């Protein structure tokens, strides 16, 4: 039997003091956290969980979608556009899953192709050019792994987004609302402020794929999910995200309006904090954060 540490926080990091004082995120005993992790993986993929468009229609007035990457096509797995948030203009980029079979196919199960990432970048650069706050909603099982995506440079598209997001001249606010699937999620997740909804997940590899590699058994995904530390409270404790946004009741699926209301509160606060800063301050804060993020090494003796 493999032993797993269930603690949600490593000893060398402290919780982010700006996190909400939500006791239920912190007081998870070891055994409770084990089953809670898997619950969260399932909640993040819940068939009734609100998707990006469900939040967009509740949070923004007159969202107007902007289509296409100006080079190849218009990827329905990513939505981009301009909107008003509390009366102020913002740019929005978001990954979109489908709900019924037809929509799922149309949205490619929320798995973007290179033209999707390039469309998102095009709108991010509009935000940068005109100083609009950029709000990015992340919800993808991962970037699409297919022949066409490789032919059109999936890796290059993601890489360029990572580099360019780090130097956008506007406030960049990202929220993982469901599944944060590895590089395909990160390609829209490099911000001044990065949050996750309480039951969202964010992982370098799906727990099923991880289990197939380390236990040679995809059915042991639950063990892998715990080992990967992919839930919002765990990633906050590792200081890999900046905040956790609470969800209503049993989870966001139980009350879409309430979930959107909590997200609105979060975005209002963060947009308010970042709006007054100059482009140089925003870039500096973002790049300094990423220079220091995820530093888990020590100096060995010679």
Q: Which residues inside 185-204 make contact with other proteins, applying CB under 8 A?
A: 186-187, 189-190, 202-204
**CA–CA separation, 143 vs 167, rounded Å?**
22
Q: Which of 17, 23, 280, 300 binds other proteins (CB under 8 A)?
A: 300
Q: Map residue 168 onto helix, strand or coil.
A: coil
Does residue 143 bind other proteins (CB under 8 A)? yes
* Residue 90 three-state SS: strand
Binding mask 3-32 for other proteins (x = CB under 8 A): xxx----x-x--------------------
> In the numeric block, which tokens belong to residue 4?
């797993």
Find, among 199, 230, 224, the residue nearest to 209 by Cα. 224
Question: Three-state DSSP class for 116?
Answer: helix
The least CB distance from residue 163 to other proteins, in Å, is 4
Nearer to other proteins, 32 or 214 (CB): 214
21, 31, 62, 151: which one binds other proteins (CB under 8 A): 151
Of 81 and 112, which CB lies nearer to other proteins in the complex structure?
112
Query: Minimum distance between the CB of residue 222 and other proteins, rounded to whole angstroms?
Result: 15
Return the closest-CA partner of residue 98 out of 129, 76, 72, 80. Answer: 76
Residue 115 to residue 171: CA distance in whole angstroms: 24
Cβ contact 170:128 at 8 Å:
yes
Residue 124 interacting with other proteins (CB under 8 A): no
Q: Print the binding letters for residues 217-246 with other proteins: x by CB under 8 A, - otherwise.
A: ----------xxxx----x--x-x------
Closest to other proteins by CB, 107 or 152: 152
- Site membership for other proteins, residue 97 (CB under 8 A): no
**298 Cβ contact partners less than 8 Å away, ≥ 6 residues apart:** none
- How far apart CA 211 and CA 205 sit, in angstroms, is 10
Segment lying near other proteins (by CB under 8 A), choices 27-35, 93-101, 156-164, 247-255: 156-164
- Closest to other proteins by CB, 23 vs 300, is 300
279 binds other proteins (CB under 8 A): no
Contact between 208 and 179 under an 8 Å Cβ cutoff? The reply is no
Minimal distance, residue 71 CB to other proteins, in Å: 11
DSSP-based three-state secondary structure for 12: coil
- 135: its two tokens: 């709000």
For residue 24, count CB atoms less than 10 angstroms from its CB and return exposed for 0-12, middle for 13-18, buried for 19 or more: exposed
- Other C-beta atoms closer than 10 Å to the C-beta of 47 total 7
Contacts with other proteins: how many residues (CB under 8 A)?
A: 61
280 scored as a contact of other proteins (CB under 8 A): no
Q: Which residues bind other proteins (CB under 8 A)?
A: 2-5, 10, 12, 143, 145-147, 149-156, 158-160, 162-164, 166-167, 182-183, 186-187, 189-190, 202-205, 210, 213-215, 227-230, 235, 238, 240, 286-287, 290-291, 293-302
């Amino acid at each position: 039997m493999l032993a797993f540490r269930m603690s949600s926080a490593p000893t060398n990091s402290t919780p982010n003091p700006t996190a909400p004082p939500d006791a239920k995120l912190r007081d998870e005993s070891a055994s409770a956290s084990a089953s809670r992790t898997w619950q969260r993986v399932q909640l993040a993929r819940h068939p009734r969980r609100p998707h990006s468009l469900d939040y967009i229609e509740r949070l923004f007035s007159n969202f107007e979608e902007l289509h296409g990457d100006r080079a190849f096509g218009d990827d329905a797995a990513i939505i981009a556009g301009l909107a008003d948030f509390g009366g102020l203009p913002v740019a929005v980029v978001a990954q979109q899953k489908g709900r019924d079979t037809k929509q799922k196919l149309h949205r490619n199960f929320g798995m973007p192709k290179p033209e999707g990432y390039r469309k998102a970048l095009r709108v991010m650069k509009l935000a940068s050019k005109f100083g609009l706050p950029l709000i990015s909603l992340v919800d993808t099982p991962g970037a699409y792994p297919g022949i066409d995506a490789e032919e059109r440079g999936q890796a290059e598209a993601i890489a360029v987004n990572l580099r360019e997001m780090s130097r956008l001249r506007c406030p960049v606010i990202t929220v993982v609302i469901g599944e944060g699937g590895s590089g395909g999620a990160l390609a829209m997740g490099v911000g001044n402020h990065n949050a996750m909804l309480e039951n969202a997940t964010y992982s370098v590899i799906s727990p099923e794929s991880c289990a197939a590699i380390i236990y040679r058994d995809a059915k042991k995904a639950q063990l892998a999910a715990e080992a990967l530390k992919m839930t919002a409270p765990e990633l906050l404790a590792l200081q890999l995200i900046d905040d956790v946004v609470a969800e209503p009741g049993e989870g966001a699926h139980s009350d879409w309006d309430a979930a959107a209301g909590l997200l609105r509160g979060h975005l209002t606060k963060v947009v308010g904090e970042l709006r007054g800063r100059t482009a140089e301050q925003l870039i500096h804060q973002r790049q300094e954060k990423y220079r220091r993020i995820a530093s888990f090494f020590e100096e060995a003796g010679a």
